[in-house]
A and B are shown apart, each in its own frame.
Chain A
Amino acid sequence: MSIRIENLTKYYGQQAAVKDISFEINTGEIVGFLGPNGAGKSTTMKMITTYLTPSSGKIFVNDLDTEENSLDVRKKIGYLPEQNPLYQDMNVLDYLKFAAELESVPKENMSKSIKKMVDVCGLGEVQHKDIGELSKGFRQRVGLAQAMIHNPEVLILDEPTSGLDPNQIIEIRKLIKQLGKEKTLVLSTHILQEVEATCDRVLIINKGQIVADGSPDTLQSKFEGKANINLILKKDSVDKELVIRSISSVRNVDKARVTKEDEKSLSINISAVKGHDIREDLFRKIVSMNMVILGLHQEETSLEDIFRQLTTKN
């Protein structure tokens, strides 16, 4: 089950929330929409799920147009909207039954699929409670259960872990990862660790446009900037200036400066020319100067850096 988006644009009044984006999501992929708040993630999801219609452009879910075959598309999709809206006054089982009926789950499979969702999402102990009484973690699971009750081929989850505590986040991520094995899954988030932890592919969206597309690893290597190395030396009689000068003389070192100095140690930050690993040369140089290394650490370009780079420009 693939999703194809062609030149999608959405205006809210004069303002474009999504500007001419195109991409394709293949069957079985777990794709993360990453972007700051207001980047157009939710708007895009709302259009895929047919809640909103595009101002221009087309969306195809398994070659079905979301505008012309709206009802057929909806049958294929399980959707967890932002903020996970739920009917507070219904109890969990009633609610799942309601969702199953709306999704036209056949009567004979009804209780089986409800039971399956209760098991998969770990709702056993709260199944007879009103949704309004549940903790946020359980509500989120009810939201997921509701989205999957008809075993959809595509799952669209808008910020599935927002507002949860760290333990709950880990649980929900585990659940998502498990589900993603069988389904095409699109989730949005503004938490970077989330995509690193769960997604095969990341789409970074900023101001309504896709600014990066790729697996977390490819993005990392693609956007790797200058390598940054933090070096801590044991302080001895050697002159600071001399140390800096000799470090600067190492091949491919761009710049070196002292960042911290106390009685025992000297911290130096070194930036290297892009694409070179200078650690070995650096080590040999320092040893040759007869100094002691207390720490040597190279900073990796994290998804976080890429994200910040891409979304704070202009």
Chain B
Amino acid sequence: MKNILTIYRKELRSYFNSPVAYIVIVVFLIITGWFFTSNLFIGGTITMRNVFDIIPFIFLFFIPAISMRSFSEEKKTGTIELLLTKPITDGDIVVGKFLAALTLTSIALAFTFIYVISLTFLGKVDTGSIIGAYIGLILMSGVYIGIGIFASSLTENQVVAFIISFLIVFGLFLLNKILIFLPTALASVLEYISIDYHFNNIARGVIDSRDIIYYLSGIIIFLLLTKTSLESRRWS
């Protein structure tokens, strides 16, 4: 636990020591801000719906960008060897890095509370669905980050890591959109795998254990894959 915290603090500091964190947060707010205000002033409706609809789409690009360096850079500069010869487990490193990236996306998400607060002055908001949407977004970003970190552990090239994680994330995102073209038996399986489907459930304000389990198991699977990928250096 202590070691996870050490890695976590170091990772978080390196996000905020470089322009990465600031660029991510600013661009995130500009895009969500546009969708919020255009909906409010042009559409004239008091809702977060548009913002919540666009965020999974923004995450598609942003989270691979945040997580692409986590292991790739360590592999490229060789610091991974330093880290892996310290008396800490591979799991501690993976979890520490995961939590740091999750914190960064949560901070970006937290800024969108401003929109919610301003809406409360204008009328009644659907608190349940808003809370649900935030929980869903954090869980969803967790899965994306897991994928991003895993992709990053596969290569020392950050661009390659970005592309791999983008492809996996995009695949999961797209599943829900192509279901209509598929036979029903296959469709229901793919629907369960689709990341968007579960988010839509939660964003309606219905927090179902099935959706939570889906996200948590997604996170765990990809973190375990990352750990395995780190250990693969020992295979021969």
Contacts and interface: CB of A to CB of B under 8 A. Distances in A.
Interface in B65-122: 77-89
A85 B79 contact: yes
Contact of A74 (B77, B80, B85): B85
B17 interface: yes
A55 B18 CA distance: 40
Contacts of B86: 74, 99, 102-103
Contacts of B87: 71-72, 74-75, 102-104
B6 A51 contact: no
Contacts of B88: 71, 102
B124 interface: no
B236 interface: yes
Interface string B1-35: 01100100010011001100000000000000000
A81 B234 contact: no
Contact of B18 (A71, A79, A89): A89
Q: Say whether chain B's binding surface is mostly helix, strand, loop, or mixed.
A: helix
Contacts of B80: 85
A90 B14 contact: yes
Residue picked from B77, B78, B85, most chain A C-beta under 10 Å:
B85
Given A89-B17, A102-B6, A52 B233 contact: yes
Contact of A51 (B14, B79, B233): B233
Contacts of B10: 87, 90, 98
A90 B233 CA distance: 26
Contacts of A277: none
B14 A81 contact: no
A10 B236 contact: yes
A55 B236 contact: yes
Nearest to A100: B6
Contacts of B233: 51-52
B77 A49 contact: no
A103 B6 CA distance: 11
A98 B7 CA distance: 8
Nearest to A74: B87
Contacts of A49: 85
A148 to B, nearest CB: 13
Contacts of B3: 101-102
Contacts of B234: 52-53
Interface in A68-96: 71-72, 74-75, 77, 79, 81-83, 85-90, 94
Interface string B176-201: 00000000000000000000000000
B81 A87 contact: no
B102 to A, nearest CB: 20
A271 interface: no
Nearest to A85: B78
A37 B203 CA distance: 59
Contacts of A74: 85-87
Closest 8 CB pairs of A and B: A85-B78, A102-B86, A74-B87, A53-B234, A101-B6, A85-B79, A75-B87, A49-B85
12 contacts: A11-B236, A13-B236, A49-B85, A51-B84, A85-B77, A85-B82, A87-B10, A89-B18, A90-B14, A99-B86, A101-B2, A146-B82
